[in-house]
Amino acid sequence: MSRRRPRRNVPSDGPFTVDRRFQSTLCTWFRRVRRPLPWRQSRDPYRIWVSEVMLQQTQVATVIPYFQRFLQTFPTLADLAAAPEEEVLRQWEGLGYYRRARSLHRAAKIIAAEYNGEMPREAEALARLPGIGRYTLGAILSQAFDQRYPAVDANAARVLCRLAAWDQPLGTSATQSWLQATAEAVLPAQGVGEFNQALMELGSLVCKPRNPECLLCPVRKWCQAARRGIQEQLPIKARQKQPCTIVEAGVIIRHRRRLLLVKRCADAARWASLWEFPHSPLQDHEDLPTAVRHLAGNDLGLNIELGRFLGVIAYGVTRFRYQLHVVEARRICGRLRLRNHEEARWTKPDELANLPMPSPQRRVVRLLGAQPLKCRS
> Which residues belong to the active site?
52
- Name the minimum Å distance from CB 178 to ligand SF4: 17
- Name the minimum Å distance from CB 225 to ligand SF4: 5
201 vs 328 by CB, closer to ligand SF4? 201
Q: Measuring CA to CA, which residue among 158, 143, 155, 134 is closest to residue 195?
A: 143
Distance CA 14, CA 314 (A): 46
- Name the minimum Å distance from CB 294 to ligand SF4: 54
114 vs 213 by CB, closer to ligand SF4? 213
> Which residues sit at the interface with ligand SF4, rule CB under 6 A?
159, 162-163, 206-207, 212-214, 217, 219-220, 223, 225-226, 231
DSSP 180-197: HHHHHHT--SS-HHHHHH
143 vs 224 by CB, closer to ligand SF4? 224
Strands 244-255 and 275-276: unpaired
Distance CA 298, CA 280 (A): 11
Q: Please, are residues 362 and 351 in contact by the beta-carbon 8 Å criterion?
A: no
- Name the minimum Å distance from CB 188 to ligand SF4: 17
137 vs 226 by CB, closer to ligand SF4? 226
81 vs 219 by CB, closer to ligand SF4? 219
2 vs 211 by CB, closer to ligand SF4? 211
Distance CA 174, CA 105 (A): 33
Q: Please, are residues 165 and 10 in contact by the beta-carbon 8 Å criterion?
A: yes
Residue burial 196-212, b: 16+ Cβ < 10 Å; e: rest: bbbbbbbbbbbbeeeeb
Distance CA 353, CA 375 (A): 19
Distances (CA, A) of 364 to 310, 360, 361: 9, 6, 5
- Name the minimum Å distance from CB 229 to ligand SF4: 10
Q: If DSSP codes are grouped into helix, strand and coil, which group holds residue 329?
A: strand
Helix axes 45-55, 99-114, angle to 10 degrees: 160
158 vs 263 by CB, closer to ligand SF4? 158
- Name the minimum Å distance from CB 22 to ligand SF4: 11
- Name the minimum Å distance from CB 5 to ligand SF4: 17
H/E stretch holding 91 = helix 85-92
Q: If DSSP codes are grouped into helix, strand and coil, which group holds residue 292?
A: helix
3-state SS, one letter per residue, for 298-316: HHHCCEEEEEEEEEEEEEE
